[in-house]
Structure 1
Amino acid sequence: MNNNESQSNKKDEENELTAKEERYTYDNEEQQDKLSEQDAAIEEELLKEAGEELPEDANDEIRAAAAPSNTEAAQQAPKGGSSKAWIAISAILAIALIIVLIKPPFGGSNETVATVNGVNISKDRLYDELVLAGGAATLDNLITQELIGQEAKAASVTVSDADVTAEIDLIKKSFGSDEEFNATLAQYGMTLESLQKDTKVNLTIRKILEPQTDVTDAEIQKFYDENKASLGTPEQVQASHILVATKEEADAILAELKQGADFATLAKEKSTDPGSKDNGGDLGFFGKGAMVPEFEEAAFALKVNELSGVVQTEHGFHIIKKTAEKAAVVPTFEEKKEEIRKQLVATEANELSEAWMAKIREKAKITNTLATETPAEGAAGTEAVQ
C-alpha cells in the first residue's frame, strides 16, 4: 500500500467515526421529534373515531391515553436527556392492561360495572368503549410484545432483575434528585414497578440487537475525550445560610456571629428560609449553577468555616457559612470505558430497532381481529379479520 492509499483509508475511518458521533449527538432530538409527531397523529385518529360519541370531558381522557405504540417505546433508549421522554412513553403501556383485564376479546359478559339512576352499565359496554378509544393500538402493542418475547427466546436472551435495576439507576442519574425522578413518574401516572416492566422490554430488544452493533475502542475513546468533564463530578461546596428580609437584620445577625454566637442556633431562630432553617441553615452540597449567581459567587469564594458578609439576592439578605468542599473529580478512561460502551451500543441498537421490528413483523403470521385495513394495505404478514 502506498502512502496516498494509507492516508485515504485513514481519512475514511475518521469520516466514519465523525458520522457516528453526530448520530449519537442528535439521537435524542430525533427521538423527541418522533415522539411528538406520533403523539399528534394518534390523538387525531382517536378523536376522529370517538369524538362524536363521547362528551368533551371524555375526549380529554382519550387525549391522555393517546400515545405511541409499544414498538416506539421499545425504540427509545433510556439514557441521558431522554429519560423523561422514556418515562412518558412507558406510561402509556398501562392502557393495554386496562382493556385486557376487562374481558377476553372473544368472551361476553353482562356483568354490571356501574349503575346510573337504576340503569346498568355492563362490562361488555365498557369493553366496547375502550376498544373505540384505542383498542386497535392496544392489541398492536400486545402483538409487538409477543413478537419480542418470541425473538428473545429464539436468541436465548434473558434480562435479569439486576439488569433492570442497573438501567433504572442510569436513568436516575439524569435527574437532579430522587424527588425529581419520583415527581416525573407521578406526572405520567407511573410507578417504579411499571417503569421496571417497560425497561425490561427495552433491554430485551437491546440484547437481541447487540451482536449487530459495531462500537469500536476508537469510538469509546473519542466519546470519553469529548465528554470528559460531564462524565465526572464537578466542584461542589457545602454551605449554611441565614436569610432575612432587610439589610439591618442581616447586619445585626452578622455582628452576633462575629461575637461568637452559634450559626445553627441563629438560623433556626431568625432565618426565613423554610427549607433550611430547621437544619440550622444547612443547604447540603451543591455545584455551580444550582444557586442564584450572587449567592454562588460568595459561597465558592469562602474558605471552609469562613463567614461571608451580607449578600443580597432576589430572595433577600443572606449570611453564608461555608462548611465543606469537594474538588472536581474527572474519572479515568478505564473507569468509564464500559459505561460508555453500553451507552453507544444502546444508541446503535436503537437505530437498528425500527428496521428489525419491521422485519420480524413481516415474517410473522399475525391474525388481528381489530385491524381495519386489508392484508394488501397493512403490514406484510398481518391478516385483518373483519
Structure 2
Amino acid sequence: MRKFGIAILGFLLIVSVSKAQRSMDKIAGVVGSSIILQSDIEMQYAQYLVQGGQPNPGIKCQVMQNLLTQKILAQQAVIDSVTVKEDEVDNEIDRKMRSMMQRAGGQDRLEQFLGRSVIQYKDEIRNEIRESMVADRMRGKITEKISVTPQDVKSFYDKIPKDSLPSYNKEVEIGEIAFNPTLTKEEKEVYKEKAEALRERVKKGEDFGTLARLYSQDPGSAPDGGDLGFADRTTFVKEFSAMAFKLKAGEISPVFETDFGFHFLQVIERRGEQVHVRHILIMPQITQASLDRAKLKADSVYTLLTKNKQVDFSSAAAYYSDDKDTKYNGGMMLNAENVQTRSTFIPTDKLDPQMALVVDTMKVGEVSKPVLYTGQDTKKSYRLLMLKSVTDAHKANLNQDFPKLKEVAYGDKLNRTVSAWFEKKRKETFIRIDAEYQQCDQLKKWVVEPQTAAVVKP
C-alpha cells in the first residue's frame, strides 16, 4: 500500500506540473530557434521523483543538459532529413498513455487528474514526443558507422593502467530444460465449472463487481470489481483481446481459457480501438499428480542425456523445454543484467539461490538430476541444469574477457564520437541559458555568445 500511495502522489505531482505548464512561461533556455520552458524542466524532475529518485535540485541541471542536447539533435535532424513516421509517434504516445492509465487506475481517473480528455492530452504532448524520437534517431545516425576492431580493443585495453583494470566476479554458463506441470482436461474441469457457476449468478442478476471482489483471483483487478479500465488490443493476451473486442457494450462473454486460467468478461464501453471491460478469473491450482507427471518426464530426459546419450543438451532443450526464454537458445540462460548483448556469462552472486546451490556441487559438462524449482511467481517446475563453463574471479585480461572489453571499448568510442560532435555543434549554435542554470557545473561550457554562433532555423 505504501508503494501504491507514493506512486499516486508522484503521479499527481506530474499532473499538477502539466496543468500549470501554460501559466509557467519562464524561458529557461534558448537553443537556435527553439526554447526550453521552466515547466519542461519541472515536468521531467517530477517524473524523476515518481521513479523513486530522491529530492535533489541538482537533477534539474541534468534535465536542462538533456533538453539542450535534444534540441540540438532535433535541429540537425531537420538539416539531415532525419524523420520519424507519424504512426511511430502514435505508437510511442499510445505506449506512454497505457503506462499513465495503468498508474492512474484507468482512463476515467486519468482524465480526472489531467482535467481534460486523453485525446486532448495526446495532442498536447505530440510535438514533444516527436522531437524526442527524432533526436534519438539523429543520435543513432551520428554513431551508426562506429565499430571496433580487435586492434581497437587491444589498444583500449593497453591504455588502462594495470591498477585500474576492472575485476570480474566468478561467472558460470548454465543451460536449463524446464518441465512445467500441466493439468489434464479432467483436472481443469472443476475450475471451469466454478467460473461457469459465477457467470450464471451474474446472468441471474447478482452484481458483477461484488462477485469479482469475492471470487476473482486476479489480484490487480479484483479489489476494483474486476475493472480493467480502457485498453487497446495490445494490452491483453490474444484470447482475451479476441473476446473483448468482438462483444458489444453490456454483453457478457462465455467462459474462456488463457494461460492465466478461466475467465469471463463483460464489456462496459467501447471507444474506437479501446475497450473498457471487467472480468472474473479463476486460476487452476497445480496438483501433486501434475508435479509427479512433470518429474517423470524430467527423469526420462535426464536418462536420455546422461545414460543413453541419445541426444545433446541443446537439442533436448529445443524439443522438451517449457521455458520459452531459453529453449531456442540451446537452453542457455542469459545474464539478466546484460540481456541486450545476449551474454551467457552470469556472475554467481546474481544467480537464483536455488540454482546456485545446485550448480555449486556440479562439474563442468555435468547435467543435474531433476530439481524442483519455485519461480518468483511461486509457480513450481522441475529443471535439469547443465554447467557449461566456470570462470574464476580475476582481473580483466584479453584472453578471458575479450567480449566484455570489446563492449566497453565500443561504449568509449561511442561516447567520444558523440562528445566531439556536440562540442562542434555547441560552438556553431546560439545558446542562451537562464542565470538560474548557469551555476550548474555541467552547463558552464554551454553558453555561446551570439556573435560567434549561428541561429539554426529549421
TM-score range, shorter chain: 0.3 to 0.5
What TM-score do you get using the length of structure 2 for normalisation? 0.30
Q: Structure with the greater relative contact order (CA < 8 A, sep ≥ 6): 1 or 2?
A: 2
What TM-score do you get using the length of structure 1 for normalisation? 0.35
